[in-house]
């Protein structure tokens, strides 16, 4: 790593703000000129913006390695200076943050390119072509927010990014806000977006509480200052650090979809597939893992909290993996798989195996983005088959352009006028509608296989190395976590095998699957890059003497660490289990492929267990009964009884308005006004009248009497003057 | 030399007679004469004091008073003629249209 110069290298740190500026400039261009630029240019501008971020991240990583991993902070502006609160807008460039930057911007750029092709078709299937550039505006905004998150030098700057990515997540889940995933008019997608946002709000509340505690007891938000002050507090008031880390775990559970707040992630699949890949698999959801890794100095002070984090992660890993077995939607399987894999990462960082967690974060970003994007390719392939088939059947026309045009008008008409009578709604995401797609979509098929093998942890794909490192660490210190994660790994291989057999093997179970078409180069090329990374990603941190590159790289930031050597026993067990699971899935789903309309062959032998998996163990319903219903009841009670009847009717109308009326009527009107002010004014009038009536008698009209008055007056005044 | 007291005394007597005349008599012509009497009583006092203090101011002042009195009589007699024209009567006891 350090081969060029021994003196400090002041390289490219000054570029750090461009991590955020580049995507912001991209989004501004697309926001204001998107309509004029056309789809191609919008896509290119957005991808260039993301690509610039990647290049900046590369240069920063290069600078860090030139400086032997020394942390460098780049102050952009003063932010908040109030009393003891001193916050600056400072970018932190060290080996951990550059790792995250590289993952986010690298995977992000590939997904931007993929999305040009994907959204081009998606907006046409949904007859909303005007929304194309908005998608890229949101996507660039996400990159900017994520860069703030990973490059912030303080918990508050991290929090700004944290909320920013939450906002982008909300906007993009609800991108097709007025329809459901099948483009029928519905609020399902906006409800999914709201669910994600509100669930994250619960988590963010935990994060905020952690932040407040941190500022109160440790006196700062800045990472180094917090870490510097923490050991002393941990000695005098250990509960403070425990509370901070546990509250932070609540935030992590929200953002990284861990028990008990994972419920939003499966619903988040309502967003367009590039979003599912970028935000809800590869980058945003790993923010929690990054947060725990970043806070490693805090977590290492409190083993109890570490244990809780590890247990939450391991529990989530197994729980979500079992649900994934019972899902039929291709993206839902991947969503639960993501939750499960995030569980692996959280468990790893909880155990203190930060490098293993970050390693798995990186490889997972590669292969899960690959899987999601391939799934998107499958869905669009079915969608194409569906449309081609639809007008093949109904129109029998040779000119496909004209018929597509006519059909789009027809459908947009039926969208407004009710539902299509001669065409039942077709779900292109349902695996029961697929089958046999290895023949129709061969490129996607092979890409999917690579992603699956990487996720299942088969040697020598990336997932094998990273998962193994986590399992190895767990086997040494946390046998319970090790057990849970091993079973989860078994389920992982099983549900991925099930998916492969259901989607790509056997016979097509629907007409669209029969007529599915391969995706264009624009979409498959980024996938090939991701596939290459999924194959070779393990090379980042091979568990052999002299390799451990990532361990070495991250130890610049996280302190001295030693990579563990490969343990053949652990690796052998997990590989054997994965292969067994794939074999079992072949026995069930591969040997006798599913027929159209056939129920899942697992349903009969497993009975109610499978029903539980199918229905996500009724967690949403459980939350409905335990949280939503009481919450609604309390809101109803508060609104109706407390607010309306007590507060409005009783306090306002009866007590306040009544008292006011009484005071004004009795006290003010009757006594003060009528008997006081009025009486005085009337008396004044009466007195004046009486006085004038008396005085007018003097005015008798006789000049002589006036003269006499004058004379008397003169005599009096003179007399006074003389005799005074 | 006649002492100044006599002049002042005569002036006071004349003024009193004039004032009483204004208050008692009903004929406006007589009232005017009484007013003239009062003015001249004042004039007498002014010139008397003027000679005592060896100054002409008193006489100049009186000169102005006589001129103003003449003008006043002219205006007053014109008013009387107008009142007589409208009321055919100039008895002051009948002239009470100023009554409030």
CATH number at residue B38: 1.10.287.3510
Q: What is the mean pLDDT of residues A667-689?
A: 89
A367 CB-contact burial (10 Å; exposed 0-12 / middle 13-18 / buried 19+):
buried
Q: Does B17 touch chain A (CB under 8 A)?
A: no
> DSSP letters of A108-156?
HHHHHHHHHHHHHHHHHHTT-GGGHHHHHHHHHHHHHHHHHHHHBSBHH
Look at residue B96 and tell me if it is in a domain. no
Nearest residue in chain A measured CA to CA from B100: A699
What pLDDT was estimated at residue B100?
63
| 39-78 in chain B: CB under 8 A from chain A | none
- Report the domain count for chain B: 1
Give the distance between the most distant pair of CA atoms in chain A. Answer: 143
Q: Does A693 touch chain B (CB under 8 A)?
A: no
Instruction: Answer whether A330's CB lies under 8 Å from A434's CB.
Output: yes
Query: What single-letter DSSP state applies at residue A6?
Result: S
Q: Does B100 touch chain A (CB under 8 A)?
A: yes
Look at residue B32 and tell me if it is in a domain. yes
Q: Verify whether the Cβ–Cβ distance A703 to B19 is below 8 Å.
A: no
Residues of B in contact with A702 (CB under 8 A): 92-93, 95-96
Which domain does B27 fall in, by range? 4-90
Look at residue B95 and tell me if it is in a domain. no
Look at residue B77 and tell me if it is in a domain. yes
Look at residue B23 and tell me if it is in a domain. yes
Spatial CA neighbour of A315 closest among A78, A496, A478: A478
Residue A707 Cα, gap to closest chain B Cα (Å): 7
Residues of A in contact with B97 (CB under 8 A): 701
Instruction: Give me chain A's average pLDDT, please.
Output: 87
d(CA A469, CA A563): 9
Q: Tell whether the model's pLDDT for residue A343 goes beyond 90.
A: yes
Considering only the beta carbons, identify the residue of A699, A700, A704 that sits closest to B23.
A704
What pLDDT was estimated at residue A396?
43
Q: Verify whether the Cβ–Cβ distance B99 to A707 is below 8 Å.
A: no
Residue B39 Cα, gap to closest chain A Cα (Å): 14
Determine what percent of chain A is predicted with pLDDT higher than 90: 48
User: Model confidence over A318-339: pLDDT tens digits?
Assistant: 999 999 988 989 999 999 999 9
Chain B interface, best mutation among A691, A698, A702, A718, by max B CB count within 10 A: A702
Residues of B in contact with A699 (CB under 8 A): 98-100
Tokens of A560: 């001295």
User: Model confidence over A602-615: pLDDT tens digits?
Assistant: 777 777 888 888 88
Q: Tell whether the model's pLDDT for residue A395 goes beyond 50.
A: no
What pLDDT was estimated at residue B74?
92
Spatial CA neighbour of B42 closest among B72, B10, B67, B76: B10
pLDDT band at A424 (very low <50, low <70, confident <90, very high): low
Instruction: Answer whether B44's CB lies under 8 Å from B17's CB.
Output: no
Tokens of B21: 């005349």
Q: Does A699 touch chain B (CB under 8 A)?
A: yes
What pLDDT was estimated at residue A295?
92
Q: What is the mean pLDDT of residues A51-65?
A: 92
d(CA A7, CA A110): 36
User: Model confidence over A172-191: pLDDT tens digits?
Assistant: 999 998 888 777 888 888 99
The alpha helices in A395-545, defined as continuous H runs, are: 400-417, 437-440, 442-456, 462-477, 479-504, 511-514, 521-536
Lowest mean pLDDT among A201-210, A711-720, B80-89: B80-89
pLDDT band at A7 (very low <50, low <70, confident <90, very high): low
Q: Verify whether the Cβ–Cβ distance B98 to A704 is below 8 Å.
A: no
Look at residue B66 and tell me if it is in a domain. yes
Look at residue B84 and tell me if it is in a domain. yes
What pLDDT was estimated at residue A671?
85
Residue A720 Cα, gap to closest chain B Cα (Å): 19
Nearest residue in chain A measured CA to CA from B97: A701
Q: What is the mean pLDDT of residues A687-706?
A: 86
- Give me the interface pTM, i.e. the ipTM: 0.83
Q: Does A703 touch chain B (CB under 8 A)?
A: yes
Look at residue B59 and tell me if it is in a domain. yes
Phi, psi dihedral angles at A694 (to 5 degrees): -70, -40
The alpha helices in A214-286, defined as continuous H runs, are: 223-236, 238-255, 264-267, 273-277
């Amino acid at each position: 790593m350090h081969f060029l110069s021994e003196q400090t290298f002041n390289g490219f740190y000054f570029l750090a703000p461009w991590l955020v500026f580049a995507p912001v400039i991209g989004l501004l261009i697309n926001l204001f000129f998107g309509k004029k630029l056309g789809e191609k240019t919008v896509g290119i501008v957005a991808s260039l913006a993301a690509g610039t971020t990647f290049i900046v991240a590369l240069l920063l990583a290069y600078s860090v390695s030139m400086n032997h991993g020394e942390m460098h902070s780049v102050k952009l502006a003063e932010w908040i200076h109030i009393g003891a609160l001193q916050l600056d807008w400072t970018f932190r460039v060290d080996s951990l943050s550059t790792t995250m930057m590289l993952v986010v911007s690298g995977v992000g750029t590939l997904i931007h390119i993929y999305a040009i092709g994907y959204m081009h078709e998606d907006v046409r299937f949904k007859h909303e072509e005007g929304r194309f550039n908005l998608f890229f505006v949101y996507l660039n905004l996400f990159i900017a927010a994520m860069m703030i998150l990973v490059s912030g030098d303080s918990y508050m700057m991290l929090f700004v990014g944290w909320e920013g990515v939450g906002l982008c997540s909300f906007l993009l889940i609800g991108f097709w806000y007025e329809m459901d995933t099948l483009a029928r008019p519905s609020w399902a997608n906006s409800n999914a977006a709201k669910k994600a946002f509100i669930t994250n709000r619960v988590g963010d509340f935990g994060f905020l509480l952690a932040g407040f505690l941190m500022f109160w007891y440790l006196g700062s938000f800045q990472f180094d200052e917090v870490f510097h002050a923490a050991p002393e507090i941990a000695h005098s008031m250990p509960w403070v650090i425990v509370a901070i880390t546990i509250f932070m775990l609540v935030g992590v559970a929200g953002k990284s979809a861990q028990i008990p707040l994972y419920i939003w992630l499966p619903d988040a699949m309502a967003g367009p597939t590039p979003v599912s890949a970028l935000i809800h698999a590869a980058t945003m959801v790993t923010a929690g893992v990054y947060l725990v890794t970043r806070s490693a100095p805090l977590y290492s002070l409190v083993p109890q909290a570490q244990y809780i984090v590890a247990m939450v992660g391991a529990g989530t890993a197994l729980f979500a993996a079992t649900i994934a077995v019972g899902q039929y939607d291709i993206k839902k399987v991947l969503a639960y798989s993501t939750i499960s894999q995030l569980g692996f990462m959280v468990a790893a960082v909880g155990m203190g195996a930060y490098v293993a967690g970050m390693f798995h974060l990186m490889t997972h970003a590669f292969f899960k983005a690959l899987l999601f994007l391939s799934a998107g390719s499958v869905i669009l392939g079915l969608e194409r088959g569906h449309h081609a088939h639809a007008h093949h059947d109904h129109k029998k026309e040779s000119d496909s352009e004209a018929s597509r045009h006519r059909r789009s008008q027809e459908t947009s008409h039926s969208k407004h006028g009710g539902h299509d009578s001669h065409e039942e709604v077709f779900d292109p995401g349902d695996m029961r509608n697929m089958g046999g797609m290895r023949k129709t979509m061969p490129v996607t098929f092979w890409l999917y296989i690579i992603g699956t093998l990487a996720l299942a942890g088969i040697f020598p794909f990336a997932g094998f190395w990273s998962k193994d490192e986590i399992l190895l660490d767990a086997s040494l210190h946390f046998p319970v976590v090790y057990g849970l994660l091993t079973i989860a790994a078994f389920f992982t291989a099983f549900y991925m095998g099930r998916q492969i057999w259901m989607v790509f093997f056997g016979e097509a179970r629907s007409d669209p699957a029969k007529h599915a078409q391969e995706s264009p180069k624009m979409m498959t090329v980024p996938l090939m890059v991701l596939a290459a990374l999924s194959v070779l990603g393990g090379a980042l941190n091979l568990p052999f003497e002299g390799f451990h590159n990532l361990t070495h790289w991250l130890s610049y930031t996280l302190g001295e660490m030693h990579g563990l050597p490969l343990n053949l026993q652990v690796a052998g067990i997990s590989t054997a289990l994965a292969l067994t699971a794939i074999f079992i899935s072949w026995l069930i789903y591969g040997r006798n492929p599913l027929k159209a309309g056939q129920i899942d062959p697992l349903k009969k032998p497993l009975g109610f267990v499978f029903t539980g998996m199918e229905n996500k163990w009724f967690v949403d319903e459980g939350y409905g009964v335990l949280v939503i219903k009481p919450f609604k009841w309390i809101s109803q009670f508060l609104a109706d009884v407390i607010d309306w009847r007590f507060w409005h009717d009783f306090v306002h109308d009866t007590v306040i308005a009544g008292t006011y009326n009484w005071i004004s009527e009795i006290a003010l009107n009757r006594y003060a006004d009528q008997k006081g002010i009025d009486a005085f004014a009337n008396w004044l009038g009466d007195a004046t009248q009486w006085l004038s009536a008396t005085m007018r008698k003097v005015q008798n009209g006789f000049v002589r009497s006036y003269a006499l008055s004058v004379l008397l007056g003169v005599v009096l005044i003179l007399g006074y003057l003389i005799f005074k | 030399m006649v002492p100044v007291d006599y002049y002042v005394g005569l002036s006071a007597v004349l003024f009193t007679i004039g004032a009483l005349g204004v208050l008692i008599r009903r004929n406006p012509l007589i009232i005017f004469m009484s007013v003239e009497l009062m003015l001249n009583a004042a004039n007498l006092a002014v010139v008397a004091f003027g000679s005592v203090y060896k100054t002409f101011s008193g006489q100049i002042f009186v000169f102005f008073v006589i001129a103003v009195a003449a003008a006043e009589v002219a205006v007053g007699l014109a008013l009387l003629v107008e009142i007589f024209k409208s009321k055919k009567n100039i008895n002051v006891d009948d002239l009470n249209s100023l009554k409030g």
